[in-house]
A and B are shown apart, each in its own frame.
Chain A
Amino acid sequence: MLTLFLLLPVTGAVLSLFLPEEKQHDAKWIALVFSGAAFAVSVVVFALFNASVPGYQFVNTFEWIAASDAGFRIRYTVGVDGLSAPLVLLLGLLSVVSVLVSWRIEVKAKQYFAWLLFMETAVAGVFLSLDLIQFFLFWELELLPMFMLISQWGSGRRLYSATKFLIYTLAGSAFMLVGFLVLGATAGTFDIAELTAKPVTQAVVPLTFVFWAIMLAFLVKLPTFPVHTWLPDAHTDAPTAVSVMLAGVLLKMGGYGIIRIALPLLPQQAHDSRLILASLAGFSVLWGAVITLRQTDLKRLVAYSSVSHMGYVLLGVSAMGSLGLSGAAMQMFTHGTITGLLFVVVGLIYDRTHTREISQMSGLMHRMPVVGTVFVIAGLASLGLPGMSGFVAEMTTFLGSLDAHPVATAAGIFGVVLSAGYILWTVQRVLHGPATDRWKELTDATSWWEVTAMASLVFVILAVGIYPALLTTAVQAGIAPIAQIMEGVS
């Protein structure tokens, strides 16, 4: 089942590459069908996922590299638990959304959709892999499509931004490989479940180095201050769909990696570093929020708000308790839907106004009530309004981290205040105010693809906000064993 989820998008990618040149525009249908099928699979997986069964479910495994010498024996293993199941669902959903918002892509459509689908497979592999080398393989696999998508279909200084993204990620993941190899060589296996059950306690290099070598890749991806600077550039210059994927699922690879690998595999080192992590988190939240306040470019604004919001994930992680980790895991899911939606809306606005300068917009609510309303919903969810998914996640995170890191949590809570500031201020500047003549010709988003993309995300945000158990049952089941490991060290 999970292997199917992994293979569907890449099959679509190959198919769309083989389309004849004159039928390029059918690529979007191929992309929709295959990402839709993958989404259906992810829904089935999430629905059939049984939170009361411990361990990984839907496991597929076979001997991948059966070397005669034991040094490099690697199994292909995929499986989900309560931590990855929601992320797989999120990936399935956002992939469909990103195909929908790309409906009007005309330039080299074949290649565009092929890269987009290829990226879905890569990210899916990261969430599903239960072997370190396999995990690293998919982690690297995601680079090329992302680089291609930003550098070709982006805007502004797209090549610069794409290259910056590439260098940051590669530099981070390079050290991750060293860390993985040290762990594997010491334990004699690359299997994540085995490494979790018996954490390495002694290696050739100090394990603190190994921990930070691995963390660096995840912190770059998350991203955390001070290694976040690639994100605003990548977001600003990326096409809408890529921004949706980037904010929605790619950043989650960082948080997922921390909770799945860095913490349970090196619990002692993680525990020793919790103050540094909490400080980074608090600083990211505040710094991100302050910078967001100063943005004049709508897309950059949403991008910086991501830095601030992903700081909550790290804050929850740094508490290293059950509540904090659950909050972090939920924050990943909800941020994926909320910021995904924000980027969809910003993309729709940009498609029509051809500017992202906030100062040039005014009274857009009059011209596009649907887009405006969705913007308000996404904005309110983003600032953590009760009744929407953001509130549940942030609340859990703060409750979890308050005891362990009161100062950082205070910073986080103040970050919420700031985010209320920048969201409401932006809403006021962009949507309200006098309806100027300049935007008289604007049309609302009424095409089926635009409406579907927005409606599906709004639905998920409200559903989780009103009935959080949809998400929390699975997440808690996934977090419980990891929290148990973390609470065991001191």
Chain B
Amino acid sequence: MSVLATALYLGPAALLYLGAGVVLLADLIHGRRAVTGLLTLVTLALAAVWAVLQIGGGAQGPILGGAIVVDSFSLYFTFLLTAVTAAVVVGTSEWAAKVEDRGEFYSLLLVSVGSMVLLVQSNDLITLFVALETTSLAQFILAGITRNERSSEAGLKYLLSGAVAAAVLLYGFAFLFGMAGTTSLPGIAEFVRHAGDGLRLPLILAFVFVAAGVGFKMAIFPFHAWVPDVYQGAPTPVGSYLSVASKAAGFAVVLRLFYTGLGGAGTPITHDWAMLFGVFAAASMLFGNVGALVQTNVKRILGYSSIAQAGNIAVGIAAVAAQGTVGPSGVLFFLGTYAATNLGAFLAVNAVSERLGSDEITSYAGLFKRAPMTAVVLSLCLASLTGLPPTAGFIAKVYIFNSAIQTGEVWLVGLVAIAVVNTAISAFYYLRWVRTMILDDPEDATPIETPGGAQGVLLLASAAVLFFGLWPAPLILLAQQAAAALLPA
């Protein structure tokens, strides 16, 4: 393949890295006057457009000797990740203007997204690990970017648990390489497919380590301990980025690893894999929801809720034995709607806490009177997180639970039963928050102004939440197309 064609395929990731450099340079040359935010946004937009063009232009296939694969699956995530990051940049521009290391913030954000784009395109253990570590390193610094006590603590905590996760992941990769003799995912899949029962145990051991390493990114139980602390301590924009983009990338890696790297459904270890994630899912939902019940700090509520939501999504991974694309497309659809929903919730919280200087749920009393639009958007997003109609969260949950039941396995019906009970538990804390905002009277009725950029993003997020709740068909089709790329043709 010609150099030009390779560059064409690698476009979005390369562009994002290039943008990171340009932002740093601009910051260096022009200092605080530099339009780093705008540059970041342009870079993200170009990368997103490039990804869309690739979807349309059919530029798909493995490149660089199979280390990277560009297909509708990776493009779905490329677009999702760049769009989410752009929304974070626009929605928190006011906050960023006050950050001392603004240039570094934007630059690291771009490095992190670029690496995630590479991550979802990885088709080889080594590329995968390098991309994962690059994005993690950038995120560790981002969590501590404001350098106050809280933020530094969050950064350090994230770094320490991330380092352990990386080591465990690498250990799992070493197992896989040792057995299969190759780092290429399709190569490993070929090995797994022909592996006898004797290799089942070492394989299970390998993917348990791998799941532990990636579970850290997905924030599922039992690799979740960092989540509430980091969400609370890190600046809210970083928290929103981690909770949406980083989680999506984590799930993308798991899907890719399983379908391309472990041979998908129908191998000797399919059932073990599904069971493992079924247990993770049930535990995450229970732990996240019960944990959120007793919280009074909204960022911690969102932290625990994000663990519970990871559990919901993991139900889709446990449903791998389902026919066709139903299982993985459920994960993709859920992640798409979850991105809009959680981003809306986080950015609304960011807008409010900037003004209130408090993250306590009591300070949200009567928000509807003080900032009607923000309160309505936040309520809508919380309803969507609960899974109430007519929001996208409802469809996403029904879809993913449906995929689990389609497998026709009894234990998955049990898992869905656990999941729906958890939905009822989660309604308690989500709706309590909604009620506080909409119905309670504020102590101080002065209006809270939401900055223009944030307002735009909030409106967009709530429009997406409602649109995909009422008319989910387009996104479902996209998700199914993307998921089809994972399955053998």
Contact = CB atoms under 8 A, between A and B. Distances in A.
Interface stretch (B200-208, B229-237, B297-305, B321-329): B321-329
B435 interface: yes
A166 B399 CA distance: 23
B7 interface: no
Interface string A146-179: 0110011000000100010011001100110110
Contacts of B421: 171, 174
Given A66-B473, A205-B410, A111 B438 contact: yes
Contact of B383 (A64, A144, A182, A205): A144
Given A66-B473, A185-B402, A185-B406, A152 B439 contact: yes
A140 B394 contact: yes
B127 interface: no
Interface string B382-403: 0100001110001100110111
A37 interface: no
A234 to B, nearest CB: 15
A205 B394 contact: no
B337 to A, nearest CB: 13
Interface size class of A (residues with CB under 8 A): 35 or more
Contacts of B383: 144
Contact of B424 (A137, A147, A151, A174): A174
B413 A204 contact: yes
A65 B399 CA distance: 11
A133 interface: yes
Contact of B413 (A67, A133, A182): A182
Nearest to A134: B389
A182 B414 CA distance: 11
A465 interface: no
Contacts of B283: none
A66 to B, nearest CB: 5
- Identify whether the interface residues of A are mostly helix, strand, loop, or mixed: helix
Contact of A175 (B324, B394, B420, B473): B420
B5 interface: no
A166 B413 contact: no
B128 to A, nearest CB: 28
B123 interface: no
A424 interface: no
Given A66-B473, A69-B326, A177-B420, A148 B438 contact: yes
Contacts of B413: 178, 182, 204-205
A182 B405 CA distance: 6
A71 B324 contact: yes
Interface stretch (B28-36, B64-72, B181-189, B475-483): B475-483
Contact of A170 (B403, B424, B439): B424
A327 interface: no
B402 A181 contact: yes
Contact of B481 (A68, A166, A171, A175): A68
Contact of B473 (A65, A151, A181): A65
Contacts of B324: 69, 71
Nearest to A162: B435
B409 A166 contact: no
Given A141-B389, A144-B388, A174-B420, A71 B402 contact: yes
A20 B79 CA distance: 40
B326 A72 contact: yes
Query: Among A71, A147, A151, A177, which residue has the most Cβ atoms of chain B within 10 A?
Result: A71
A137 B383 CA distance: 13
Contacts of B423: 170, 174
Contact of A163 (B323, B326, B428): B428
B356 to A, nearest CB: 23
A384 interface: no
B402 A184 contact: yes
B416 A181 contact: yes
Interface in B402-447: 402-403, 405-406, 408-410, 413, 416-417, 420-421, 423-424, 427-428, 431, 435, 438-439
A72 B389 contact: no
Contacts of B329: 69
A171 B426 CA distance: 11
Nearest to A10: B390
A209 to B, nearest CB: 9
Contacts of A141: 388-390
B42 to A, nearest CB: 35
Query: Among B409, B417, B428, which residue has the most Cβ atoms of chain A within 10 A?
Result: B417
Contacts of A147: 431, 435
Interface size class of B (residues with CB under 8 A): 35 or more
Interface string A107-151: 010010000000000000000000001001110110110011001
Contacts of A175: 417, 420
Contacts of A66: 473, 477
Contacts of A136: 398
B469 to A, nearest CB: 9
Contacts of B21: none
Interface in A66-102: 66-69, 71-72
A68 B333 CA distance: 14
Query: Among A72, A136, A147, A181, which residue has the most Cβ atoms of chain B within 10 A?
Result: A72
A108 B435 CA distance: 14
A140 B476 contact: no
Nearest to B408: A204
A182 B408 CA distance: 8
A72 B399 contact: yes
B453 interface: no
B291 interface: no
A19 B264 CA distance: 55
Given A68-B481, A141-B388, A178 B438 contact: no
B472 interface: yes
Query: Among A171, A174, A205, which residue has the most Cβ atoms of chain B within 10 A?
Result: A174
Contacts of B416: 178, 181
Given A138-B389, A140-B389, A204-B413, A67 B424 contact: no
Given A178-B413, A204-B413, A71 B390 contact: no
Nearest to A213: B417
Contact of B389 (A137, A152, A178): A137
Interface in A368-386: none
A181 B401 contact: yes
Given A148-B439, A152-B439, A185 B420 contact: no
Nearest to B398: A133
A72 to B, nearest CB: 6
A352 to B, nearest CB: 27
Contacts of B410: 204-205
A170 B427 CA distance: 8
Given A71-B403, A133-B398, A185 B408 contact: yes
Interface in B263-322: 322
A171 B405 contact: no
A175 B417 CA distance: 7
Contacts of A140: 388-389, 394
A167 B480 contact: no
A177 B417 CA distance: 9
Contact of A204 (B325, B326, B409, B420): B409
Given A171-B424, A174-B421, A67 B406 contact: no
B427 A166 contact: yes
Contacts of B403: 71-72
Contact of A65 (B390, B409, B476): B476
Contacts of A152: 435, 439
Contacts of A184: 402, 405
A137 B406 CA distance: 20
14 contacts: A66-B477, A68-B480, A68-B481, A69-B329, A71-B406, A72-B326, A141-B389, A144-B383, A166-B428, A167-B428, A174-B421, A178-B417, A184-B405, A204-B409
Counting from the closest, the 10 A-B pairs by CB-CB distance are: A174-B420, A170-B424, A71-B326, A181-B405, A152-B439, A137-B389, A185-B405, A69-B324, A141-B389, A185-B406
Given A71-B403, A72-B399, A177-B401, 4 more contacts: A65-B472, A69-B326, A141-B388, A148-B438
